[in-house]
Structure 1
Amino acid sequence: MDKKYTFIGIFIALIVLAGVSITLLNQGGSSDSGGSQEVNTSTSDEQSVNTSTSEVTSTSGAKTVKHGYLPSNGDALIFVAKEEGFWDEEGLNVELYQFTKGTEGYNSLFGNKLDTVGAGTSDPATYIAQGAEITIIGGLMSEGQFLVTAPENAEDLADLNNWKGKQIATIAMSNGDLIYKAALKKAGIDWKKDVTFLELGSPNAVLEAVKTGKSDGGIIWIPYEILAQQQGLSVASYSYQYYDNHPCCRIALKTETLNEDRDTYVKFEKGLIRAYKFFSENQNESVDDIQKYVNVDKEAIRQSTWSDYFYASPDPNKNGVVEYYQMMKDSGYIDTDVRVEDHIDSTVYKEALDELISENPDDQFYQNLLSEYKEMNE
């Protein structure tokens, strides 16, 4: 294998040799249920959790799965599945751990501190391109990325041709980061030379850079577009304008973990599918569930979640991920010969869906999901 593709292996080995501990701390009020915690990259040995979670069971006998999530309504199905008890009913004890950007979640996954991660497609795809043995088994959302700017600059930055010479704040490897860079490439603009990208650590940091004039614009995700507007900024463009219905947050885990205990992750997906049905039929209750993990008011959650620029779905959308991966290659975002198809197992989701259809043969909702599965994965 080419040296550049061994980066992940070297990176993980260095973490292990250095004894770096990924700390899992209580989230401090973001979840009323007490079921959410933060992923912290502190090296404090006193607070580190050094447990291979694939071997853990809870005191009730349920299998424990540690899942890393972003505090965004894009992870709505995770929050609904947890709060409505769907995973409990499937015999799983799912513990939730918060991170602020995908790289933090994947560092914890590679360090055996998490079992599964829900983050944008760019994150797992980039690691896969570099040789990481991870597998995508499901989805959470599509679209939901934006460019925000000062109101007086919104019309100007709505045209990608006006990005030349501008500085744009972004979060590396986020979906919006890739979507806009690919759109620039398609428009004939060299995003590596003609635009300066300021890489920051969180959506809040991006908003601050735009508000203070440090950056001309900033790339963020839901629900930060609502927060941006509340702080006097404007949305200049939406990611769907450049790639309609593009996949975003995917559920991924180590391939080894999936191979050792496939049944657990079929149950995990089953809980997410049930959450999707609940989410689709119970808006008010879903808003309440989401707000326990996303620190914005209920109306902002409702406005951002039930919109025409965000779609929730647990379907892995294999075809969409393959297309997205090719776009990453075409835009110069990644350079690899690794096939992403070899790192997507959509049959985990399909098995979960088949079980639900068998248990609920007259439920049209699940039948519709089966039709969608065939369109997006076969």
Structure 2
Amino acid sequence: MRKALILCLTAVIFVCLLVAGYGQSVSTTSQVPTIKVGYTFVDHHASLMVAAKKGEAFQSSGTYLKPVIDKEKYELYDGGKKVANIELVVTKSGSESATLFAQKHIDLSLLSITAGMSAIDSGTPIKILSPLQTEGLALVFPKDSTVNGWEGFIKYLDTKQEPVKIGYHSPTSAPLMVFEGALKQNKVPYTRNPNELNAKILLVDLKDTPNLIPALTSKQVDGWVGPSPHPQVAEKTGVGKIALDLRDLPPQGAWHDAPCCAIAGRTEFLAQNQDAVVKFLKLMAYAGDYANKNHDEYGDIVAQWIGIPADAAKASTIVFLTDPTDTWVKNLGVYQDLMNSMNKYKGALKDKPLAEVKDVLFDFSYIQKALGK
């Protein structure tokens, strides 16, 4: 009897261990990566907002998000299968994204392309994976200003005895890079030193996009350069006016389709989660294309997400794209040359043309797979 009882208990223990082992195996194989995605409250990053808000309505595309906590946590699905958990991390700017990358607090980020380039130059282990959008940059002055266009801006500068204060939200932002590049190319003297009174322009770091409009109303600055939707919000709320779309800076046509924001990823994370990253990029491509084709709906989504007037969001001139076309890469070469000429680099990118550092900056293999190329 005792022997039979021992045999029975042994069998029960064996079955329990077998079931436990089986359960552990299932749990292990069903695990998916968690992708922490950085983004900023600007409509340049609306592809992510559109993908999140449309959610399972994108199911017919094959890749979509299932909400867990609105604006915070989602599940990424592809072909009916869960491939990743998504956690959204709000950042103030591309430079903050670079810091979070270095600290391993985010895995992917939507950020200014120039912020990504600066981060790579300083040794942050990331790669630029794809473009995100172009256009959507402007120079804004108070609503009663008579400044209009580049010529009007230059005439305005000539009437002033002291440097005109122009604000910006981040030292590595695309609006600043384009504006500063145009100033340099057109030989307009500028400075960041408030004691340098011979300059025509004093550039002022306003630290964050939410500070742009208050800096105008408080007269901390005479004007600022910034990304949409802030110029449109300034106009629609009666605070400011768009004096110049930065695409129209001279020389004529040089700043059309200028690279602005991109998607970047931490190299360690990329190597370990290739399939999930490809699926995420696939979704960003689809959402961006959807936004391009459904402008008013995308404007409503942006307005609700970041809390701005819908007419301001719908006034945006952004074009979304994720395919690194020859034109986009060529224009990025202009950025690279400008950033070198302005002594923005101190590390791996210093004094090097884009052709020499493409492998340092980019890994387009993920977006090519996502686009089926």
TM over 0.5: yes
1:104 maps to what in 2?
96
CA distance in structure 2 between the aligned counterparts of 1:318 and 1:260, rounded to whole angstroms:
27
CA distance in structure 1 between the aligned counterparts of 2:300 and 2:111, rounded to whole angstroms:
22
Please say if 1:267 is aligned against 2:273.
no
Amino acid at match of 1:251: I
The structure-2 alpha-carbon separation of the partners of 1:163 and 1:122, relative to structure 1 and needing over 3 Å to count, comes to farther
The structure-2 alpha-carbon separation of the partners of 1:350 and 1:74, relative to structure 1 and needing over 3 Å to count, comes to same
What SS is found at the alignment partner of 1:252? strand
> Deviations along 1:134-167, whole A, 9 cap, x unmatched?
1000122112111111244342784454547211
Shift of 1:178: 0.8
Q: 1:246-257 maps to which residues of 2 (within 5 A)?
A: 246-257=258-269
Q: 1:238-317 maps to which residues of 2 (within 5 A)?
A: 238-242=245-249, 243-304=255-316, 307=317, 310-316=318-324, 317=328
CA distance in structure 1 between the aligned counterparts of 2:52 and 2:173, rounded to whole angstroms:
25
Q: 1:176-187 maps to which residues of 2 (within 5 A)?
A: 176-187=175-186
Moved more, 78-87 or 280-289: 280-289
Amino acid at match of 2:112: G
CA contact (8 A) 1:146 1:221 kept: yes
The structure-2 alpha-carbon separation of the partners of 1:318 and 1:92, relative to structure 1 and needing over 3 Å to count, comes to farther
Amino acid at match of 1:155: V
CA contact (8 A) 1:322 1:341 kept: no
Q: Percent identity, aligned pairs only?
A: 22
CA contact (8 A) 2:292 2:320 kept: no
CA distance in structure 2 between the aligned counterparts of 1:332 and 1:83, rounded to whole angstroms:
41
The structure-2 alpha-carbon separation of the partners of 1:207 and 1:157, relative to structure 1 and needing over 3 Å to count, comes to farther
2:40 maps to what in 1?
70
What SS is found at the alignment partner of 1:314? coil
CA contact (8 A) 1:129 1:337 kept: no
The structure-2 alpha-carbon separation of the partners of 1:154 and 1:205, relative to structure 1 and needing over 3 Å to count, comes to farther
Amino acid at match of 1:273: A
What SS is found at the alignment partner of 2:239? coil
The structure-2 alpha-carbon separation of the partners of 1:268 and 1:319, relative to structure 1 and needing over 3 Å to count, comes to farther
1:341 maps to what in 2?
358
Shift of 1:216: 1.3
Amino acid at match of 1:175: A
Unaligned runs of 5+ in 2: 1-26, 56-63, 66-75, 250-254
What SS is found at the alignment partner of 2:259? coil
CA distance in structure 2 between the aligned counterparts of 1:177 and 1:123, rounded to whole angstroms:
11
Q: 1:82-231 maps to which residues of 2 (within 5 A)?
A: 82-85=52-55, 86-87=64-65, 88-90=76-78, 91-155=83-147, 158-159=150-151, 161=154, 162-163=156-157, 165-171=163-169, 172-192=171-191, 194=199, 195-229=201-235, 230-231=237-238
Shift of 1:122: 1.4
Shift of 1:101: 1.5
Shift of 1:267: 1.2
CA contact (8 A) 2:165 2:203 kept: yes
> Deviations along 1:189-220, whole A, 9 cap, x unmatched?
23336221110122231222222222111111
CA distance in structure 2 between the aligned counterparts of 1:183 and 1:189, rounded to whole angstroms:
8
2:338 maps to what in 1?
327
CA contact (8 A) 2:51 2:283 kept: yes
Shift of 1:252: 0.8
Q: Which of 1 and 2 has greater Rg?
A: 2
What SS is found at the alignment partner of 1:89? strand
CA distance in structure 1 between the aligned counterparts of 2:315 and 2:275, rounded to whole angstroms:
36
Shift of 1:311: 1.1
What SS is found at the alignment partner of 1:84? helix
CA contact (8 A) 1:136 1:250 kept: yes
What SS is found at the alignment partner of 2:145? helix
CA contact (8 A) 1:122 1:174 kept: yes
What SS is found at the alignment partner of 2:305? coil
Aligned residues: 295
Shift of 1:182: 0.5
CA contact (8 A) 1:176 1:221 kept: yes
CA contact (8 A) 1:121 1:250 kept: yes
Shift of 1:269: 0.7
CA contact (8 A) 2:131 2:261 kept: yes
TM (norm. structure 1) is 0.71
What SS is found at the alignment partner of 1:215? coil
CA distance in structure 1 between the aligned counterparts of 2:157 and 2:367, rounded to whole angstroms:
40
The structure-2 alpha-carbon separation of the partners of 1:282 and 1:236, relative to structure 1 and needing over 3 Å to count, comes to closer
2:252 maps to what in 1?
none
The structure-2 alpha-carbon separation of the partners of 1:240 and 1:156, relative to structure 1 and needing over 3 Å to count, comes to closer
The structure-2 alpha-carbon separation of the partners of 1:321 and 1:257, relative to structure 1 and needing over 3 Å to count, comes to farther
CA distance in structure 1 between the aligned counterparts of 2:281 and 2:362, rounded to whole angstroms:
14
CA distance in structure 1 between the aligned counterparts of 2:336 and 2:85, rounded to whole angstroms:
33
Shift of 1:278: 2.5
CA distance in structure 1 between the aligned counterparts of 2:84 and 2:54, rounded to whole angstroms:
13
Shift of 1:175: 0.7
Hey, which of these two has a bigger chunk of strand by percent? 2
CA distance in structure 1 between the aligned counterparts of 2:131 and 2:87, rounded to whole angstroms:
18
CA contact (8 A) 1:74 1:249 kept: yes
Correspondent of 1:80 among 41, 44, 50: 50
